[in-house]
Amino acid sequence: MWFYLVTLVGLYYLLRWYREKQVVSNLQEKHVFITGCDSGFGNLLARQLDRRGMKVLAACLTEKGAAELRNKTSDRLETVILDVTNTESIVAATQWVKERVGNRGLWGLVNNAGISIPSGPNEWMNKEDFAKILEVNLLGVIEVTLSMLPLVRKAKGRVVNVSSILGRISVFGGGYCISKYGVEAFSDSLRRELCYFGVKVAIIEPGFFQTAISNSDRHFSHVKMLWDRASSEVKEIYDKKFLLSYLSELKILLGKMSTEDLSLVTDCMEHALTSRHPRTRYSAGWDAKLFYIPLSYLPTCLSDALFYRSSLKPDKAL
């Protein structure tokens, strides 16, 4: 019995490997629009696809970021300035893309732009702190997608949304985890709707990586700023021990458990754009595969206990 079971599992993974190795034809003729290309995953993906010969349309928040990216890539790659929280900027970028793709349509849309601050204990923040992240990470993804969708549908192309393993399990407060849960829900509904038109939607769920938005020093400074501005009542309730415990958890998540190799994420993005049979979800990073995904399936009492354990040991050196 075990022999047959192992054989079936082996055949399944062999067939899956074969299907996923099949590549879309005429990649050099296809346009891909990527948001958040100033740094991090978006910047690396733009350079990666450019080396592969694809026509990359890279959206950056700043002219400096755009200029630096152009200096590192071929003449095929073009840049545009985009603020995903500004409707006029999105409309202008969509028109810019339309002029370049013409009747061929847009093969790939990668919603990568995102921020992670303000984040911290929920009670230390206000509505505006939550809204700031949601405007970029969730509403920005939705508005850019809706604006570009006619172009993607024309090409029967791909939408790749960058979520996070924190879209499966929330480990700290603020709008970041909320926004990623929202991206997961939006992507799921979009995938079911667009399959009718031949459009495929993929979700990228990275673990913790060392990028600009996960910089530990910035997060530490921000949490301490939230503590400083908190009311005397909040400080009395939470006290300094809680602050040290919280910073200890951040030190582990953003330092010891984060990965430097960003290509683990961009390789997933590239596969979602170039494979004839892309996955619906990609988990990038060993922490995502071996810790956070299994953790998300555990009973709540067990997953909570793992985080409470670290809270009992604040790092007094912080």
CA dist., res. 202 & res. 283, Å (int): 11
CA dist., res. 61 & res. 306, Å (int): 38
Catalytic residue among 12, 176, 238, 282: 176
How far lies 270's CA from each of 23, 68, 131, 135, in Å? Answer: 11, 22, 31, 26
- Which residues, other chains included, contact 124 with Cβ-Cβ below 8 Å and sequence gap of 6+? 173, 226, 227, 230, 234, 238
Note whether 37 and 59 are within 8 A (CB): yes
Note whether 106 and 156 are within 8 A (CB): no
Is residue 26 classed as helix, strand or coil in its secondary structure?
coil
Classify residue 127 by burial, with Cβ atoms within 10 Å: 0-12, 13-18, 19+: exposed
CA dist., res. 159 & res. 115, Å (int): 20
Start-end of H helices in the chain: 2-20, 40-51, 63-71, 87-101, 127-134, 140-155, 175-194, 216-229, 232-251, 263-274, 286-287, 293-297, 300-311
Closest CA to 158 of 196, 201, 104: 201
For residue 196, indicate whether it is catalytic. no
> Would you please indicate which residues are annotated as catalytic (active-site) residues?
176
